[in-house]
Structure 1
Amino acid sequence: MLNRKRYRREEEEDKSSDEDNYVPYIPVKERLKQTYAKLGRLTQLKDEGKKTKSSSECEMDNEDEEEGQVWGRKSNISLLDQHTELKKLAEAKKESAMEKQLKEEERILESVAERKALMGVAELAKGIQYDDPIKTSWKAPRYILEKPPSYFDKLRKKWRILVEGEEVPPPIKTFKEMKFPKAILSALDDKKITKPTPIQVQGIPTVLYGRDMIGIAFTGSGKTLVFVLPLIMFCLEQETALPFARNEGPYGLIICPSRELAKQTFDIIQHFTEYLKRQGLPEIRSCLSIGGVPVSESADVIGKGVHIMVATPGRLMDMLDKKIVRLDICRYLCMDEADRMIDMGFEEDVRTIFSFFKGQRQTLLFSATMPKKIQNFARSALVKPVTINVGRAGAASLNVIQEVEYVKQEAKVVYLLECLQKTTPPVLIFAEKKQDVDAIHEYLLLKGVEAVAIHGGKDQEERSRAVDAFRKGSKDVLVATDVASKGLDFANIQHVINYDMPDDVENYVHRIGRTGRSDKSGIATTFINKANDESVLLDLKHLLIEAKQRVPLFLATLQSENEKYLHLGDDNGCSYCGGLGHRITNCPKLEAIQSKQASNIGRRDYLSNTAADY
């Protein structure tokens, strides 16, 4: 009896345990749903995609979910439809990533934007603002003004001229229609200049109307005449109305970043004023104020009354501080290679120079490379400016055949001789360091090459002699640092050799721009190797692609991490420095400047604390 009871109890316990472990039957379809839900990649993408979809699409998705529709091979949705949907989701995610990148770039550009306006101290202190440009007596011919706006738009489109600004003056196709006197036209003929270039077609009338202007055009496009010819016309008008008295002037001021460029601009002005004098027109006096030239030479001209002054920032600051020259009646200011000047550390000097003006002036800024950061900064000092752009700011001239070659560091000097055989003289060789310039110069002389060299370490007399000898053709090769790369115009340069790739792609554009000028063609050869920074090489790669040049294999294989974000929005490349191979989020130039500023802050703090302690 006991055994039987025990048996029944055990049987009941076994039964209850079976009920506890019972698993209900799940159909195959439901099990597949659960599996796909666990794997969940498609479902997860679908859920994320809902955030970017319209409300109607979301309602459709909810209906699908209610019907128990799940993505996958066994789903009611075809694989082709699933693929299309996934592609849309991927595009939506990509677009949101791009928007995020653009917002980040705007934030960075805003954070590094210049807060201090490019204006005089007195103007800032008194809150002086000029609302209207300076008025001039010049007017375009009536038959041109009567033409419809569509005519001017066609002309600009034909010459690839982009303009921004209010009430942009009309482009004019000939120098004669610009109302220049016969003396100026004769001087142009003597230089074999018969018709204006695109930047001159739009730029000269803009300046003659008295408008402030930012002029951007590729190297060798004739930017110098855009600001020189109108200035001579204004000074001629002033001198005719009321001759300049002793110690009066200048009326026009041209600031250049290098001595060589200032000397070249001064010589161009002298050429035109000589022709005016020969024709019996009033004498227009100009002076050159640069380091290495005695101040007394400038002071003599200023004593007679000077109309035009061409200067470098350092010497000009010195003369203003010593009251050798005043800007009381100066109404015309031009900064040539303006972005280079600011990059070279002259920004504070330029600000101080603005403080010496006693009234409104017409301000002109010119360069081949002018990133948005510099343009935005410059606009603070300009009144209703007109921006004239012929080609992209920072683009290389299409007349230059760019060749990039991989050359080991130790083989560079020897390979130079081989490169010199590519073309006939004259040839320009650029190097970053002064000691490299001297070494190359010495090596070429030993090999029997007629060469001269210039760099910042040589005195001005030696530099002037070297440049003059090269211009006249008595020397075949000029070896130089970047002092010769900005704005200098040498006739018929056949070949430019970059002994090393500069740290800044803007310098590269200026260097190769010494050849292929005035619609002539030229060759630029650049040596690169593993010592070069990858970010600069990426900029170079994209510059070559833009100019439709051959990209060597070792450059073509270079890929940046953010390659997919290189061409966002309307602007290409970096909005800070203009480089095409990176964005502002990883700009090496910006990073270097910020590092320098940080180290200077630390140094100043240390020095001030030390001074306080003692």
Structure 2
Amino acid sequence: MSLSPPPKRRRANRSPTPELTLNDGDDYQPYIPVQQRRQERLNLLINRRGPEAQQERARREIQESEEQRDEEREEERRREKARRERTLLIEALDVHSRKAAEDAKKTEQERVEEADAEILAAIASRKKLASDRELARGIVYTEPLKASWRPPHYIREKSEEQHQKLREKYHIIVEGEDIPPPIASFADMKIPEPLLKNLKSKRIIQPTPIQIQGMPVAFSGRDMIGIAFTGSGKTLAFCLPLIMLALEEETKLSFSRGEGPRELASQTYENVLSWADAMTKGGYPQINTLLCMGGISMSDQSHVMNKGLHIIVATPGRLIDMLEKKRFSLRSCKYLCMDEADRMIDLGFEEDVRTIMSFFSRQRQTLLFSATMPKKIQDFAQQSLIKPVLVNVGRAGAANLDVLQVVEYVKQEAKMVYLLECLQKTAPPVIIFSENKNEVDDIHEYLLLKGVEAVAIHGSKTQEERQYAIKSFKSGAKDVMVASGVASKGLDFNEIQHVIIFSMPKEIEDYVHQIGRTGRSGKTGIATTFVNMNTPEQTLLDLKYLLLEAGQKVPPFLQSVEDPRASQGGRLQGCPVCGGLGHGISNCPKLEDASRRQMASHRGDAIGDFSTRVEGESEDEMRHLVYRDQCRIEKTYIL
């Protein structure tokens, strides 16, 4: 059976798709919105009614527009009234609420860091340390003074890597431009033979770390910030350069009456006299040195001023008084040194230093030295000096590693009895520190009754009493000195083996200076500190960290003191104002004391003598208050 093929399908023929246009058909009407059709019908009705209806419509439109304007004016009056009723307090509360909402998103550590930054920025806004004349005329020195001294050629030929190795050997940290090389020998510093013999007679053979780097910087005429622990030889580091500069100027042109002083420098008048006499005996010109401080008759030193001055040891108040009386001038002075510079600035002597600088007529070389110079003062000094060189041996504010620190818990009523036991630890001489002058007198009287050869020194003592106490203690006639903060800074006592801190100072800087009266010039010493429940916890925390840093033994009761900042997380940082490791800037005791002093000075509480000081006020505090109103009061800081 054969299959036939399927039939073929035919394509259907379809008619073409019609093309429609909008014009097709006469009945097409475009779409009109409903709103428009209603409006057209309304207009048609109005036109049919006549002109009366049109006038009514116009009046209605005018009335509606006036009502709308009235509503807008009323709304504007309500907004203006609300603005007037909104007080600054409400705005402050709104700002505070917004800030609180933002702070809620931050961590506790971030909030603390921001608060510390605000406080630091507020206290950092101070003009640089320059005279009013320089600030008013816009006088700016850009280059350091040129000095004739140069290091020996074999020192200059050494590479910077060799210099850095020497610095690392003695733990010297330097900052600045074109830093002079360190020199580890007095002879290589080109010091004259008479001074070398004088140093050897005092068993000073090799320079200390601060002298290795600091003296070449000073010899080179550079501004300098020198930081080193107590007893490290800072005084020699700036005294020898000033003596060399004075001799150089004297050789060029001798001074006549009224000229000078050549330098404002020195830690002790006796040291300067000793080194100057050594140079005179060696055949060099005589160096005239003047002691200018409260409590000393200047008429007794008129013979020195008549010869012309090279070096002056001065306190700010008496120096300003002598300059204003034109007893001598600073026209030829080119060398200014401030020892314990941070304390001088902190205690409000900043304006007095500017007043002294206004008597200069030329550029000067400025050196600032201290054992405790917090970051805040370092930054301020950097802005005030000309391309300064920072020489730092160890952390600023660190304790002397040659001092064995012993901290003991002693009840307040048992201190006096236990004091006698502590005096048996070492042979005399011994220094006992207390923060209160009445307590100093009580301790002194108690020791005398017990047969101990003791003297006392504090701010209420006359200059003659203080000089007698220092002289008899240094000579060995007295075994014990009971002192307030007056003796903790600027005074150098040799052979002190033991320091007893009867009452722990609030500021850890003062503690560092007090224990630094022993362990000097490479020798070892002991510092015994009494603490109890009366000692603030923050002070104990500062002390704990200081002991840990120095590798000293921390007693269990001190180990149990916890740092509240540890719970906030983050890295613990020290205070940039006082250098204390146990607190931040927000609760710094130095800032609290400075604020209290400022408030007291505004109230006029500073008028009076040291004898009117209320119980519990510190020596530094009262010294500042009284000085601001009575320039005649003698101060213990040295320019």
TM-score by length of 1: 0.79
Partner of 1:155: 166
For 2:492 and 2:413, locate their aligned partners in 1 and report how far apart those are by CA, in whole Å: 32
Percent identity for Structure 1 against Structure 2: 58
Residues 209-252 of structure 1 show CA distances to partners (whole Å, capped at 9, x for unaligned) of: 00000000000000001110010101101011111111110111
Amino acid at match of 1:488: L
Matches within 5 A, 1:300-315: 300-315=303-318
1:169 to 180, 201, 216: 180
Amino acid at match of 2:151: A
The DSSP-based 3-state class of the residue aligned with 1:333 is strand
Matches within 5 A, 1:286-305: 286-305=289-308
Amino acid at match of 2:174: V
The reply to whether residue 378 of structure 1 matches residue 381 of structure 2 is yes
The DSSP-based 3-state class of the residue aligned with 2:337 is strand
Amino acid at match of 1:228: C
Residues 523-569 of structure 1 show CA distances to partners (whole Å, capped at 9, x for unaligned) of: 10111111122211111111111111111222211123213569848
Partner of 1:504: 507
Partner of 2:148: 137
Give 1 or 2 for the bigger CA radius of gyration.
2
Partner of 2:557: 554
The DSSP-based 3-state class of the residue aligned with 2:270 is helix
For 2:167 and 2:187, locate their aligned partners in 1 and report how far apart those are by CA, in whole Å: 19
The Cα of 1:298 is off from its aligned counterpart by 3.8
Partner of 2:580: 579
**Change in CA separation of 1:298 and 1:335 when aligned onto 2, cut-off 3 Å:** farther
For 2:557 and 2:570, locate their aligned partners in 1 and report how far apart those are by CA, in whole Å: 22
The DSSP-based 3-state class of the residue aligned with 2:499 is strand
Partner of 1:245: 256
**Change in CA separation of 1:588 and 1:342 when aligned onto 2, cut-off 3 Å:** same
1:450 to 450, 453, 465: 453
Residues 441-468 of structure 1 show CA distances to partners (whole Å, capped at 9, x for unaligned) of: 1111111111111111111122112111
Where does structure 2 lack aligned partners over 5 or more consecutive residues?
1-103, 606-639
Q: Is the 8 A contact 1:212 1:386 kept in 2?
A: yes
Where does structure 1 lack aligned partners over 5 or more consecutive residues?
1-92, 256-261, 605-614
Give the stretch that moved more between structures: 492-501 or 525-534: 525-534
Matches within 5 A, 1:232-271: 232-254=243-265, 265-271=268-274
2:128 to 101, 117, 121: 117
Matches within 5 A, 1:298-447: 298-447=301-450
Q: Is the 8 A contact 1:505 1:579 kept in 2?
A: yes
**Change in CA separation of 1:330 and 1:150 when aligned onto 2, cut-off 3 Å:** same
- Root-mean-square deviation (CA, aligned residues, Å) is 2.0
The Cα of 1:483 is off from its aligned counterpart by 0.9
The DSSP-based 3-state class of the residue aligned with 1:442 is helix
Amino acid at match of 2:131: G
Partner of 1:195: 206
Partner of 2:14: none
For 2:568 and 2:356, locate their aligned partners in 1 and report how far apart those are by CA, in whole Å: 40
Amino acid at match of 2:576: S
For 1:112 and 1:193, locate their aligned partners in 2 and report how far apart those are by CA, in whole Å: 42
The Cα of 1:101 is off from its aligned counterpart by 4.0
The Cα of 1:316 is off from its aligned counterpart by 1.0
Q: Is the 8 A contact 1:102 1:568 kept in 2?
A: no
The Cα of 1:375 is off from its aligned counterpart by 1.3
The DSSP-based 3-state class of the residue aligned with 2:520 is coil
The Cα of 1:353 is off from its aligned counterpart by 1.2
Partner of 1:590: 591
Partner of 2:626: none
For 2:307 and 2:295, locate their aligned partners in 1 and report how far apart those are by CA, in whole Å: 22
Residues 79-106 of structure 1 show CA distances to partners (whole Å, capped at 9, x for unaligned) of: xxxxxxxxxxxxxx99976455444433
Residues 156-202 of structure 1 show CA distances to partners (whole Å, capped at 9, x for unaligned) of: 00000000100110000100000011111111111110010000000
The DSSP-based 3-state class of the residue aligned with 1:215 is strand
1:180 to 185, 191, 194: 191
Q: Is the 8 A contact 2:210 2:232 kept in 1?
A: yes
Q: Is the 8 A contact 1:114 1:377 kept in 2?
A: no
Residues 424-447 of structure 1 show CA distances to partners (whole Å, capped at 9, x for unaligned) of: 111110111111111111111111
Amino acid at match of 1:472: S
Partner of 2:566: 563
Residues 20-42 of structure 1 show CA distances to partners (whole Å, capped at 9, x for unaligned) of: xxxxxxxxxxxxxxxxxxxxxxx
Give the stretch that moved more between structures: 119-128 or 483-492: 483-492
Amino acid at match of 1:573: G
Q: How many residues align?
A: 502
The Cα of 1:297 is off from its aligned counterpart by 3.0
TM-score by length of 2: 0.76
For 2:254 and 2:603, locate their aligned partners in 1 and report how far apart those are by CA, in whole Å: 54
For 2:568 and 2:204, locate their aligned partners in 1 and report how far apart those are by CA, in whole Å: 43
Q: Is the 8 A contact 1:299 1:324 kept in 2?
A: no
The Cα of 1:108 is off from its aligned counterpart by 2.0
Partner of 1:83: none
The DSSP-based 3-state class of the residue aligned with 1:374 is helix
